[in-house]
Amino acid sequence: MGIGFLFTFILWTVLILFVDVQAAGPNHSKVGFATFNTWFHHLTAVNMTLYTVTDWLGLVPIAVCLFFGCLGLCQLIKRRSLFKVDADILLLGGYYILVVFGYLFFEMVPINYRPILIDGFLEASYPSSTTLLVLSVMPTLVFQINRRCAHPMAKRIAMLLTIMFSAFMCALPEKIDKKRRQKAE
């Protein structure tokens, strides 16, 4: 399933680079699927409050990474050997390093741009670094809670909260900002 998602991501990325690419963004930036992206932007407008909230909530996956990094460090100090640190924590650390490299790569190599300037600057929108972090880190939190927590209700609550958080951060479309649209007209 993971290979399927990776293939889909690569295919979608190639399509964004070549299908309906137009200078439709701010400062005439080139945007893939320009017709759809422009239509959707006009449909939803911009909700900077939601943008700011999700931007700050992007720190949650970073906190999760730091927590498990600290857990691994505590195990290393207490057990005095890297080989005595739980194998799943070591794998998680390696995985998080790969996620950080992916995050940094897509911050430096933007594939598609936002339809608006953020604080006067052109900003990448695809792939979303926030979405990358959330969908890469939050499932590992559920896995670790399922592995380390004995209480079934705590497991269910953690899973529900993680799913709700991930959906809010990644799948929730921007709300239509009617006031801004009315002012613009």
- The closest alpha carbon to 128, from 4, 3, 12, belongs to 12
Q: Residue 106 is which amino acid?
A: F
End-to-end Cα, the chain, rounded Å? 46
pLDDT digits 0-9 by tens, 77-125: 999 999 999 999 999 999 999 988 888 888 788 787 776 666 777 777 7
- Where do the domains of the chain lie? 2-184
pLDDT digits 0-9 by tens, 32-68: 888 887 887 777 766 777 778 888 888 999 999 999 9
pTM (2 decimals)? 0.75
